[in-house]
Amino acid sequence: MDLDTVRPCVRCGGEFTVRALLESAHRYAPRLGVVGTETPCCGAPEDLAPEPGRVFRGYIYAAGTAHFSREEEYAAPGLEVRAGPTELTFVLGGVTRVVR
């Protein structure tokens, strides 16, 4: 799968792409390397772990401490990711985004 694979929303039956999720990321959990976002169809929360050239979709869970479960992997050719202590910067398609 890649960023433009259309995914069904299990909450409302709508559709979205992981690219749309990544482009609307609005919070960053630096210890986990995860960004939080919402589906464009109904605003349901989603968690993504972007890495250079790929994005993992999954969920955060607690087992003593917080962990991220990588459920799905999406190819993201050209995705650049720089993780900092309080923000994640990524470049996709020539557009730079900073998520705090």
* pLDDT, tens only, 24-63: 999 999 999 999 999 999 999 999 999 999 999 999 999 9
* pLDDT, tens only, 2-25: 999 999 999 999 999 999 999 999
Helix (H, G, I), strand (E, B) or coil at 21: helix
Residue 82 and residue 98: Cα distance in Å, rounded?
9
Place of tokens 């989603």: 46
pLDDT of residue 23: 95
pLDDT of residue 77: 96
